Structure 1
């Protein structure tokens, strides 16, 4: 984390972000497996954590990378919903 003065976050704080992101990714993975909803706030939190880790040049934990990659693939493969009233 940069506070605008070039001061970076202590390694312990980055490790905590990695730990919490891993725990959240595990919850998302469980929701996927049992067919429960995945909330936008969960995705937003994972993406924010990943951006923070990128900014700090910290590696993404494997579970975080796996879940975000799968979510991105599912979003890329999703067809946009047809507009109501649109038709041939």
Structure 2
């Protein structure tokens, strides 16, 4: 269940993607509450391109994570996601 929830969160983040100049991958560390509230977002691994790093963080902040499945204990859950940018 947690894996499926993580995939749903990533899909919502990906929907926020806008065209960027440059190629690269950004790894983000998210902390999401079971209510769907994004508690924090930070860089876990930079793309070495500050524009792409900022875009990925912005995408995560704009996304509206879904609520967690009911069988997950209420609380905050860490999640690592990778965002890929290609021209």
TM exceeding 0.5:
no
Higher relative contact order (CA 8 A, sep 6+): 2
Structure with the higher fraction of residues in helix conformation: 1
Task: Give the TM-score taking structure 1 as reference length.
Answer: 0.29
Larger-gyration structure (1/2): 1
